[in-house]
Amino acid sequence: MEAISAENLARNLNEYLLARAAEVNRALDSLVPDESLPPQTLHRAMRYSLMAGGKRLRPVLVLTAGEALGATAGDLMPAACAVEMIHTYSLIHDDLPAMDDDDLRRGRPTCHKAFGEAIAILAGDALLTQAFIVLSSSAPAGDQNRQVQVIRELATAAGTVEALIGGQVADIEGENRAVDAAALEYIHRSKTGALIKASVVIGGIIAGASPDQLSVLGRYGEKIGLAFQVADDILDVTSTSEAMGKTPGKDLAAQKATYPAIHGLDASRAHASELVESAISAAGQLGPAAYRLQQIAKFIIARQS
Ligand code: GRG
């Protein structure tokens, strides 16, 4: 059999990610209110940030994890879109002057730069709310028990305890202070890791995964979630705004604790690789159908944006 080169594998994954992102974009378009509906400005702002591109990594993880365990894209898509809505809300709020104060996101002016602060705050609130409207509107595979589990999983990941909002608070409170390695890992696992892990686990819940399978998915999700943020810290030092579509060097300027700042670039790269290897080995326990999850784990640290 002809060996598949690393280059072909990368091209193959790239095509997969682009195709899945396009599916997600079509579904998102149908799941947020149209701009012609009042309040038009708010709906325009929601769509401006949501439809601005982005890798769609989290929704693709919902789809890929769920399909690896036998769920259909149709059953997975509403939850995949709900995760992306919450992710986008967090980006809009993170960019506000009261938080990270950024001008550029997904290659265009941030929501508050385009629509003003009040509308940006409300667009974020509205995307968070819309996520739960979507999740509560249909039960995946007609199973209300799974539906409630998905809602709980996503709400918990977006919440305060070792989750999105809690991690953001710790991040803000850590600015200009000495943050040690353990505190930094807590911030990364909460602010970034929780939603990525939840994306993977939600795919499993919708597929009706067994408790063992869910714990394997959770381990995979935890490892790639942390690796994703370590890679983001590295890109903040090494990338350009053209490549990233946001302002690099911000962490350094804000004197934020990051992996490179605490551990150095080489050790950070090595740690990210170890995390990805553990994720690949965890996904291996799910059998050959999990090969896309393994490829995505590699992409997490190979990406340039
Ligand atoms: C405001 C509650 C609240 C939380 C904000 C997401 C977040 C927490 C802050 C954004 C700042 C940041 C760098 C967070 C780390 C997570 C991260 C790298 C987000 C960007 O995710 P990507 O790269 O973005 O997946 P795209 O645009 O591709 O979706």
Among 246, 220, 233, which Cα is nearest to 184's? Answer: 233
pLDDT, residue 1, reads: 40
Report how far apart the first and last C-alpha atoms of the chain are (Å, whole number). Answer: 34
Rounded distance, CA 32 to CA 298, Å? 32
* Pocket of ligand 1, beta carbon within 6 A: 54-55, 57, 87, 90-91, 93-94, 106, 164-165, 168, 191-192, 229, 232
Distance between Cα 192 and ligand 1 center (Å): 7
Instruction: Among 28, 58, 91, say which to mutate for ligand 1: greatest number of ligand atoms within 8 Å of CB.
Output: 91
Rounded distance, CA 23 to CA 86, Å? 18
Of the pLDDT bands very low, low, confident and very high (cuts 50, 70, 90), residue 13 is very high
Of the two residues 163 and 176, the one the predictor is more confident about is: 163
Average pLDDT over residues 192-221: 98
Rounded distance, CA 263 to CA 242, Å? 27
Rounded distance, CA 261 to CA 256, Å? 8
Q: What is the pLDDT of residues 227-237, one digit of tens each?
A: 999 999 999 88
Average pLDDT over residues 97-103: 96
Of the pLDDT bands very low, low, confident and very high (cuts 50, 70, 90), residue 242 is low
Residue nearest to atom 29 of ligand 1 (CA): 54
Of the pLDDT bands very low, low, confident and very high (cuts 50, 70, 90), residue 176 is confident
For CA atoms 64, 67, 71, 72, the dihedral sign is: positive
Of the pLDDT bands very low, low, confident and very high (cuts 50, 70, 90), residue 10 is confident
Q: Is the pLDDT of residue 95 over 90?
A: yes
pLDDT, residue 240, reads: 65
Percentage of the chain exceeding pLDDT 90: 85
Of the pLDDT bands very low, low, confident and very high (cuts 50, 70, 90), residue 239 is confident
Rounded distance, CA 269 to CA 265, Å? 6
Distance between Cα 236 and ligand 1 center (Å): 12
Atom of ligand 1 lying closest to residue 305 CA: 23
Indicate the range of 122-126, 192-196, 256-260 predicted with least confidence: 256-260
Average pLDDT over residues 252-277: 89
Of the pLDDT bands very low, low, confident and very high (cuts 50, 70, 90), residue 254 is low
Of the two residues 8 and 182, the one the predictor is more confident about is: 182
Q: Enumerate the β-bridge partners of residue 108.
A: 105
Distance between Cα 185 and ligand 1 center (Å): 16
Distance between Cα 90 and ligand 1 center (Å): 7
Distance between Cα 289 and ligand 1 center (Å): 29
- Which residue spans within the chain are E strands per DSSP? 104-105, 108-109
Within 10 A of 91 (CB to CB), how many other CB atoms are there?
A: 22
